[in-house]
Amino acid sequence: MKAVAYSIKSFEKAFLDKANQKKHDITLTTDTLGSGTAIHAKDKEAVIVFTNDDVSANVIDKLAALGIKYIITRSTGTDHICKEAADKHGIKLFNVPSYSPQAIAEHAVALAFALNRKLIKSDQHSHRFDFRNDELIGFNFSGKTVGLIGLGNTGLAVARIYNGLGCKVIGFDLSFPENDLHIQPVTLETLLASSDVISLHLPLTPSTRYLINKNTLDQMKDGVMLINTSRGALLKTIDVIEALKTGKIGYLGLDVYEYEKGLFFEDHENDLVKDSLLQYLMKYSNVLVTPHQAYLTKEALQEIADQTIRNLDLCK
């Protein structure tokens, strides 16, 4: 199978080579997929993309004209792909249904730990040889109520960690899974009102977009900790900023951002004009933002590469 893989980072190459074993003829490019780079797919049968690639209707039209029959995304989410356009051209879609939920779960909890114990601030102070303990007080997770919205593989992995910490874990999902974990199923309203920590583990769909908005934020405890490692648009950012201003949100940990496309995964340090909304958000000392790195473990990268090659194997 001839394919071109877009948005390839240097650290991905070894994992893909190990998975592929020269079975498929894959051209790797650091370019993101877009109208101007679709031409890289000429004489190929498949394109391999990531969440930051432009897989809109216009781009898919161009890919179809070049003879592309398959689109494979190195992600679980497929909200960046125009499925209607793919269907129109008979292009088959493949994703990575699940990969190392532990990687995402551990990062989500790491954000919570770092925020609670103010690790970023204390590290910065220590590097200046300021070893005072002022303004570094945190809380015990043991005995706190953690609300998980979304109980797929990642949500369940997060639950196991918080169970081990002695937390009361409650969860909301449209189809509550059968498991032996100590997760109490509750309504969304109960979860919002009862949780000290709320962690999101949902795909982005029309029904989940802006799930966290002024109305749902108003239902939360004052000073709640909110963690999102799923998709940026689960949160309405302007409403979240207002909740930070009032103290409704006491801690905010984000590995994703509503407007991250074209921003995350790239170096924008020297841009003259930066995303003003994100800049404003990061002014708050109780906000921690990481650049969509929750998946970034050796184990997860190999699983993603392995599944990507298996998906190519299925392209017939």
Q: Is 269 a catalytic residue?
A: no
Q: Contact 91/64 with Cβ under 8 angstroms?
A: yes
> In sequence order, what are the residues at sequence separation of 6 or more whose Cβ sits closer than 8 angstroms to the Cβ of residue 49?
5, 6, 7, 33, 55, 71, 72, 73, 74, 80, 81
Residue in 260, 268, 299, 310 annotated catalytic: 260
CA-wise closest residue to 199 among 104, 301, 120: 104
Structural tokens at position 259: 């407007």
CA gap 8, 289 in Å, rounded: 23
One DSSP character per residue, 72-125 reads: EESSS--TTB-HHHHHHTT-EEE------HHHHHHHHHHHHHHHHTTHHHHHHH
Q: DSSP state, 233?
A: G
Q: How far apart are CA 67 and CA 208, in angstroms?
A: 34
Written as one letter, the residue type at 222 is D
3-class DSSP state for residue 26? strand
- Taken as a whole, the chain contains a residue count of 316
260 a catalytic residue: yes
Specify which residues 254 forms β-bridges with.
228, 289
Bin 144: left if φ > 0, else alpha if -120 < ψ < 50, else beta: beta
Catalytic residue among 107, 231, 258, 303: 231
Active site residue 292: yes
Residues with catalytic annotation? 231, 260, 292
